[in-house]
Amino acid sequence: MKKNKISKNWVNKQRRDIYVRQSKVDGYRARSAYKLIEIDEKFKIFKGGLSIIDIGAAPGSWSQYALKASKNSKLISVDLKKMQPIGNSVQIQGDFTEDKTQEEIKKNINTKVDVVMSDMAVDTTGIKNIDAIQTGELCKEAMNFAKDLMKENAYFISKIFMGGIINEIVADGKKYFKEVKVFKPKSSRKDSKESFIICRKIR
C-alpha cells in the first residue's frame, strides 16, 4: 500500500512539473535536458564542431541537446542501458566504471575532446549522505578519466549531490582544472541536493 502511495505521489508530481510537460513539447526524452540548457546558457559551452563524451547518457536528453547546440560535432554516448539512436552519435552500452568500457570509449576517440559531461547517479537509497557519497565517487571516476583526454580549454560537467564528499570533489577539480564552479540550475528540483560541478581549462 505504501509503495502504491509513493507511486501515485510521483505520478502527480510529474504531472505538475513544468519541465516534464515542456520536454514533451520540445521533443526531449527527459526533463534533465533543461539542466544542461541552463548550464550552457550560463557558461557558454556548446558550439559547432566539438568532440563530446556523454557519460550516464540514458535516456538521452543531454545528448539530444548537445547535438542540437553543437552542429557538426562528434558525440559518444555511454550508459549501462540500451538507448534509442540519437543523430549520428556513437553509442556504447556498458558500465563506465569498468576498464573495458573506458577502453571502448578511447578507441572511438581520434583527437582530444572538448566536453566530457556526466549525469551519472547511483540508484538512491533514501539516505541522502550515502547517496551523495556514492554519486560523488562516480563524479570522481568520470573526472579522473576525463582529465587525460581533454583539450586545454575543455569543459568537464558532472552531477554532484551537496554534502557527502563535495569538498573532496571540488579539491580534485581545482587540482586538475584552472576554473571550477558549482551550479544548481532552476530546473533542478528545489527539494533535491543535486548540483553540478563545471570545470574548465585543464592544468
Residue 5 has pLDDT above 50, yes or no: no
Q: What is the mean pLDDT of residues 50-59?
A: 98
Residue 1 has a pLDDT of: 44
Q: Per-residue confidence at 189, pLDDT binned at 50, 70, 90?
A: confident
Q: What is the mean pLDDT of residues 161-180?
A: 96
Q: What is the pTM of this model?
A: 0.90
**Burial of residue 146, with CB atoms counted within 10 A of its CB: 0-12 exposed, 13-18 middle, 19 or more buried:** buried
Domain ranges within the chain, ordered by starting residue: 29-202
Distance CA 119, CA 45 (A): 16
Residue 17 has a pLDDT of: 82
Poorest-pLDDT segment among 9-18, 21-30, 88-97, 144-153: 9-18
Coil vs helix vs strand at 60: coil
Coil vs helix vs strand at 94: coil
Helices 33-43 and 18-26, interaxial angle, to 10°? Answer: 90
Higher pLDDT, 4 or 41: 41
Residue type, 99: D
Residue 9 has pLDDT above 70, yes or no: no
Residue 11 has pLDDT above 70, yes or no: no
Residue 12 has a pLDDT of: 44
Provide the pairing of β-strand 51-55 with 74-79: parallel
How many C-beta atoms lie closer than 10 Å to residue 114's C-beta? 21
Cβ contact 33:41 at 8 Å? no
Catalytic residues: 159
**161-185: b or e for each residue (b if 16 or more CB lie within 10 Å)?**
beebbbeebbebbeebbeebeeebb
For 46-166, strand residue ranges (E) read: 51-55, 74-79, 90-93, 113-118, 150-161
Residue 127 has a pLDDT of: 83
Higher pLDDT, 72 or 13: 72
Residue 7 has pLDDT above 50, yes or no: yes
CATH code of the domain made up of 29-202 = 3.40.50.150
